[in-house]
């Protein structure tokens, strides 16, 4: 045997060993008994065991995983009140599920079931109901008008919030389990007859094919299932607001909910949808349209203002009118850095302030804002560290970036701004336009669940424009968005 | 998933943006030089032969029942004859793409970056064009929608010049003091070039014949923009002044001023990069399509890379804008060949194919 085949053998044997011991629940061998299950939970001190000597019954459960009321009503009280002869009768009730495999018992206990070991066999009672946060307002997507409730970390609560708003049996829910270790429950929601079957199946197959040991949040899930994981842009919209999910379901889109996550994934999504909010629909349409246009203006300002400042002050001073030129040169004359360094420095400072403010408690966050905005801003100009026009430009860019309703999209755009500043510093207006062109080329390539990300601008779907670029009056909405490829185009008519 | 086809309006925009380019900055001068007073009317006359040419191209699609131009040519013309045709066509198209970019960056260097070698700027544009073209024709057309939207923002700016527009500058004479009408027609015809690339779009367009009208729409948009620019330039300057201005449109934009910004011609010229990307990109894409037909085994992205790399080396040769214009004067004939001879050849191939079927 050659040395290479020996090495290959060593690698193969390692691989086999890995396959035999997966990260998740261990494959348990041997007959189902209390001892084998206890062996599986060895050193799990949070496992609770109850003994009923008169019934020769044992209970195994995780108290923090279960709803104590269900547990008391369905398991504890009946067991305390019956005699041994009545046990068969009790076990024939529907909440008791007979099991024969150790693996299943282990899994179900982990998922909030109570395992009952009696001479007749092993039974499981589903009593899942861990502690959860109450329904509150969303911190990241605050609402001014319209419903204020937001999703929390409980899948059941989130499902109920959607069902409360959508009382139709056409709302279908498919269940999945993701993550070998976390075994996170994931639900795929769609409306039968409105959502495209092709998209539903595609999304289901993407969720099923995830090979990742742990899943903690919906926003993490989007990165595991989206079309271009390396893109800067979020390809699926995420939202904590049930009203957004419901309206998107009605548009023929798919909503994915993950347990332990307040973020619902909406698919497919278009780039322009990230600039819309449900508040647009709760306002009069003219106000909604004005707000939407304002957001697009904010997008243009946030990506271009500082970059253009850098381009103009580096290469194109002739573009500045005489009156402005005097104050700008005066202010710039004390700054020892080239505009690109000055701009990057200030943009980084603003980003640090934002990040510090976001991580700190609200009261300290405010202090950081004052320290950053007034002290650093004013002092930096007075010290000749930066020009005051740049401060205005950076501040306006930062404010404009927060006008974009999606926090994830806003982060992506802020990062793109840095690239544009660098290109503008290197090649002036040419670099700026080259950067914009690169961004457009990249955007044009992107797809969300296989559909064009830049729809309805490209491919051109003029019928959708009245609900993307403006917020048209309700009477003008005659069809669902093209991106949904809905079999039922008319939003006001439900086919039988 | 959605199976994308080129939307017909996207085809119109693609044709429009392929046609327009640096030529827009030079066109008023060209028209004034060759046609003299009220030379802009020549653009209207030009509309007829170009429309006929487009009709010739669309007839190939109609008779060929939507088959690709290469499949049509292959069906009736022997391969040994096609080989040199493809070779010349592919190289010519690539050179047009290369020179469009070269001309743009040379003007850029002249205006803004006199100390930066033009080839460095060309390399930057080439990289962007490469990234654009490798995304495929569907994505090129999608990006083009945004590019056209950016360019369209310039149209309202033209109306600012209305207050400086003087009809007396137009003069009451037509085509006086021009020189060499024949050469002028060829040059102006050349400025409309780009529609001939619709020959290569056949397999990517929507099924049916509706989209063919949109090639005309794209061309009409170009004519309208050319007319707008030329007429305004004639009324803003006058034909004698236009003859002496290198880039009349840029000179005109130089008069623009806003409260926060003025002399925006540099910025607007930079914005024209998006038009150059499409013009250059579409010629490179077409060239790649021709060469991929010649070397089908090589992946098309590699074909594109080799085509772009070789033309990049050739781009070192012309040293001045005049040289580039001279090269263009030669390449116009090749473009005319693609626009007229290739569709005629395709029709011939279809006839031969039909004859064969009748005999069989």
Instruction: Give the pLDDT band (50/70/90) at residue A124.
Output: very high
Check the CA dihedral B50-B51-B54-B60 and report its sign.
negative
Question: CB–CB of A316 and B267 under 8 A?
Answer: yes
Residue A387 lies in a domain: yes
In chain B, domain spans:
8-350
Residues of the domain holding A172: 155-269
Query: Is B114 within 8 Å of chain A by CB?
Result: no
A312, A425: one domain: yes
Residue A493 lies in a domain: no
CA distance A17 to chain B (A): 40
DSSP B10-48: HHHHHHHHHH-STHHHHHHHHHHHHH-TTTTHHHHHHHH
A300, A247: one domain: no
Question: CB–CB of A460 and B112 under 8 A?
Answer: no
A287, A262: one domain: no
Check the CA dihedral A222-A223-A229-A233 and report its sign.
positive
pLDDT given for residue A1 in this prediction: 45
B chain contacts of residue A430, beta-carbon cutoff 8 Å: 108, 112-113, 121, 124, 270, 273
Total length of chain A: 496
Q: Percent of chain B having pLDDT more than 70?
A: 99
Q: For A319, which of B121, B259, B261 is closest by C-beta distance?
A: B261
Cα separation, B222 vs B18, whole angstroms? 10
Least confident of A65-79, A135-149, A329-343: A135-149
DSSP B152-201: HTHHHHHGGGGGG--GGGG-S-SS-S---HHHHHHHHHHHTTTGGGGGGG
Q: Are B237 and B32 in contact (CB under 8 A)?
A: no
- Chain B's closest residue to A459, CA to CA, is B142
A286, A397: one domain: yes
The two tokens of residue A152 are 């929390």
* Residue B216 pLDDT > 80: yes
Residue A148 lies in a domain: no
Cα separation, A249 vs A219, whole angstroms? 18
Question: CB–CB of A460 and B141 under 8 A?
Answer: no
Q: For B273, which of A437, A450, A454 is closest by C-beta distance?
A: A437
Question: CB–CB of B135 and A202 under 8 A?
Answer: no
Within a 10 A sphere around the Cβ of B86, how many other Cβ atoms?
Answer: 17
pLDDT tens-place string over residues B258-298 = 888 888 888 999 999 999 999 999 999 999 999 999 999 99
Q: Are B33 and B178 in contact (CB under 8 A)?
A: yes
Over residues A233-258, the mean pLDDT reads 92
C-alpha to C-alpha distances, A151 to A161, A262, A371, A405, A484, nearest whole angstrom? 8, 5, 34, 17, 24
Over residues B80-105, the mean pLDDT reads 95
* Residue A23 pLDDT > 60: no
Nearest Cα to Cα of residue A186 among A113, A99, A254, A232: A254
Last residue of a domain, one of A231, A248, A269: A269
Q: For A433, which of B1, B131, B273 is closest by C-beta distance?
A: B273
* Residue A320 pLDDT > 80: yes
A336, A240: one domain: no
pLDDT given for residue A374 in this prediction: 75
CA atoms within 13 A on the CB side of A302: 22
Helix count (H) and strand count (E) of chain A?
18, 12
pLDDT tens-place string over residues A397-454 = 999 998 998 888 999 999 999 999 999 999 999 999 999 999 999 999 999 999 999 9
Q: For A429, which of B2, B147, B267 is closest by C-beta distance?
A: B267
Residue A305 lies in a domain: yes
Which fold is adopted by the domain B8-350? Hydantoin permease (1.10.4160)
Residue A437 lies in a domain: yes
Cα separation, A413 vs A232, whole angstroms? 8
Listed in sequence order, the residues at least 6 apart from A493 whose beta carbon sits closer than 8 Å to its beta carbon are none
Q: How many domains does chain A have?
A: 3
Nearest Cα to Cα of residue B293 among B68, B5, B44, B100: B68
Q: How far is CA B288 from the centre of its chain?
A: 17
ipTM of the complex: 0.94
DSSP-H helix ranges across A360-474: 362-370, 377-382, 388-403, 407-445
- Chain A's closest residue to B7, CA to CA, is A459
The two tokens of residue B248 are 């009349």
B chain contacts of residue A485, beta-carbon cutoff 8 Å: 2
DSSP B108-159: HHHHT-TTS-HHHHHHHHHHHHHHHHTT-HHHHHHHHHHHHHHHHTHHHHHG
Last residue of a domain, one of A248, A269, A290: A269
pLDDT tens-place string over residues B171-184 = 877 887 878 888 88
B chain contacts of residue A452, beta-carbon cutoff 8 Å: 2, 4, 142
B chain contacts of residue A460, beta-carbon cutoff 8 Å: 7, 9-10, 145
Q: Percent of chain A having pLDDT more than 70?
A: 93
Give backbone dihedrals phi and psi of A45, rounded to 5 degrees, phi first. -70, -15
Residue of A433, A437, A452, A462 to mutate for B, most B C-beta atoms under 10 A: A437
A82, A165: one domain: no
Within a 10 A sphere around the Cβ of A201, how many other Cβ atoms?
Answer: 11
Listed in sequence order, the residues at least 6 apart from B173 whose beta carbon sits closer than 8 Å to its beta carbon are B36, B37, B38
Mean pLDDT of chain A: 86
Least confident of A2-16, A325-339, B73-87: A2-16
C-alpha to C-alpha distances, A90 to A85, A271, B321, nearest whole angstrom? 10, 57, 96
Question: CB–CB of A441 and B125 under 8 A?
Answer: no
pLDDT given for residue A10 in this prediction: 44
Over residues B154-175, the mean pLDDT reads 83
pLDDT given for residue A22 in this prediction: 43
pLDDT given for residue A378 in this prediction: 81
Over residues A58-76, the mean pLDDT reads 89
Q: Which stretches of chain A sit within 8 Å of chain B by CB?
A: 198-199, 202, 312, 315-316, 318-321, 324, 427-430, 432-434, 436-438, 440-441, 443-445, 447, 449-452, 454, 457-460, 485
Q: Are B225 and B3 in contact (CB under 8 A)?
A: no
Question: CB–CB of A460 and B262 under 8 A?
Answer: no
pLDDT given for residue A27 in this prediction: 53
pLDDT given for residue B330 in this prediction: 92
Q: Percent of chain A having pLDDT more than 90?
A: 42
């Amino acid at each position: 045997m050659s040395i290479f085949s020996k090495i290959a053998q060593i690698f193969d044997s390692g691989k086999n060993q890995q396959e035999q011991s997966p990260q998740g629940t261990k494959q348990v061998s041997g007959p189902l008994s209390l001892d084998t299950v206890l062996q599986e939970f060895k050193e799990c001190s949070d496992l609770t065991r109850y003994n009923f000597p008169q019934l020769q019954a044992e209970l195994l459960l995780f108290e923090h995983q279960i709803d104590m009321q269900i547990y008391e009503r369905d398991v504890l009280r009946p067991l305390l009140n019956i005699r041994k002869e009545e046990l068969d009768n009790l076990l024939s009730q529907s909440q008791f599920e007979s099991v024969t495999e150790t693996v299943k018992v282990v899994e179900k206990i982990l998922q909030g079931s109570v395992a009952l070991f009696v001479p007749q066999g092993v039974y499981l009672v589903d009593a899942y109901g861990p502690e959860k946060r109450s329904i509150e307002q969303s911190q990241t997507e605050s609402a001014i008008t319209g419903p204020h409730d937001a999703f929390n970390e409980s899948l059941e609560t989130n499902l109920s919030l959607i069902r409360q708003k959508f009382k139709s049996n056409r709302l279908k829910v498919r269940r999945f389990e993701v993550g070998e270790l976390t075994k996170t429950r994931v639900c795929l929601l769609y409306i039968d007859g409105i959502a495209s079957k092709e998209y539903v199946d595609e999304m289901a197959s993407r969720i099923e094919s995830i090979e990742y040991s742990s899943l903690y949040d919906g926003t993490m899930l989007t990165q595991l299932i989206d079309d271009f994981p390396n893109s800067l842009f979020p390809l699926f919209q995420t939202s904590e607001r049930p009203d957004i999910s419901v309206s998107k379901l009605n548009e023929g889109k798919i909503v994915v909910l993950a347990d332990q996550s307040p973020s619902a994934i909406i698919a497919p999504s278009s780039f322009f949808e990230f600039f819309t909010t449900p508040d647009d629909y709760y306002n009069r349409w003219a106000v909604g349209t004005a707000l939407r246009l304002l957001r697009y203006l904010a997008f243009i300002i946030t990506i271009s203002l500082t970059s253009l400042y850098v381009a103009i002050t580096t290469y194109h001073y002739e573009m500045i009118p005489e009156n402005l030129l005097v104050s700008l040169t005066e202010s710039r004359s004390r700054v020892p850095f080239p505009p690109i360094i000055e701009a990057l420095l200030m943009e980084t400072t603003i980003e640090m302030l934002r990040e510090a403010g976001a991580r700190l408690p609200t009261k300290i966050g405010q202090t950081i804002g004052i320290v950053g905005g007034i002290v650093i801003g004013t002092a930096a100009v007075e010290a000749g560290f930066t020009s005051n026009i740049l401060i205005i430009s950076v501040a306006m860019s930062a404010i404009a970036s927060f006008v974009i309703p999606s926090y994830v999209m806003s982060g992506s755009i802020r990062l793109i701004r840095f690239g544009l500043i660098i290109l503008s510093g290197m090649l002036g207006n040419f670099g700026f336009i080259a950067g914009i062109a690169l961004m457009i080329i990249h955007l044009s390539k992107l797809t969300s669940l296989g559909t064009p990300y830049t729809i309805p601008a490209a491919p051109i779907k003029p019928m959708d424009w009245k609900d993307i670029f403006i917020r048209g009056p309700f009477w003008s909405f005659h069809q669902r968005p093209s991106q949904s490829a809905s079999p039922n185009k008319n939003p006001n008519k439900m086919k039988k | 998933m959605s199976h994308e086809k080129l939307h017909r309006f996207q085809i119109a925009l693609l044709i429009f943006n392929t046609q327009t380019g640096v030529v827009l900055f030079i066109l008023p001068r060209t028209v004034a030089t060759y046609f003299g007073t009220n030379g802009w009317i020549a653009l209207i006359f030009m509309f007829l032969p170009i429309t006929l040419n487009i009709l010739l191209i669309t007839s190939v699609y109609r008779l060929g029942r939507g088959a690709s131009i290469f499949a049509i040519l292959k069906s009736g013309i022997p391969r040994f004859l096609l080989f040199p045709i493809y070779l010349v066509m592919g190289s010519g198209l690539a050179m047009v793409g290369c020179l469009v970019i070269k001309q743009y960056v040379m003007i850029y260097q002249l205006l803004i970056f006199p100390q930066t070698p033009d080839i460095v700027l060309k390399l930057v544009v080439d990289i962007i064009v490469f990234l654009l073209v490798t995304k495929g024709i569907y994505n090129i057309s999608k990006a083009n929608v945004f590019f056209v939207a950016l360019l369209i923002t310039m149209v309202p700016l033209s109306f600012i010049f209305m207050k400086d527009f003087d009809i007396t500058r137009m003069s009451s004479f037509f085509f006086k003091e021009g020189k060499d009408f024949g050469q002028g027609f060829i040059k102006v015809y050349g400025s409309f070039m780009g529609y001939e690339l619709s020959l290569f779009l056949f397999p990517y367009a929507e099924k049916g014949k509706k989209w063919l009208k949109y090639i005309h729409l794209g061309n009409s948009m170009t004519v309208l923009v050319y007319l707008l620019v030329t007429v305004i330039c004639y009324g803003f300057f006058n034909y004698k002044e236009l003859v002496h201005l290198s880039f009349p449109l840029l000179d005109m934009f130089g008069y623009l001023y806003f409260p926060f910004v003025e002399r925006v011609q540099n910025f607007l010229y930079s914005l024209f990069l998006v038009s150059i990307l499409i013009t250059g990109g579409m010629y490179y894409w077409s060239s790649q399509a021709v060469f991929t037909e010649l070397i089908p085994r090589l992946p098309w992205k590699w074909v594109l890379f080799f085509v772009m790399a070789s033309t990049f080396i050739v781009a070192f040769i012309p040293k001045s804008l005049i040289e580039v214009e001279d090269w263009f004067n030669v390449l116009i004939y090749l473009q005319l060949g693609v626009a007229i001879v290739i569709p005629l050849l395709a029709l011939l191939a279809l006839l031969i194919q039909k004859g064969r079927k009748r005999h069989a």
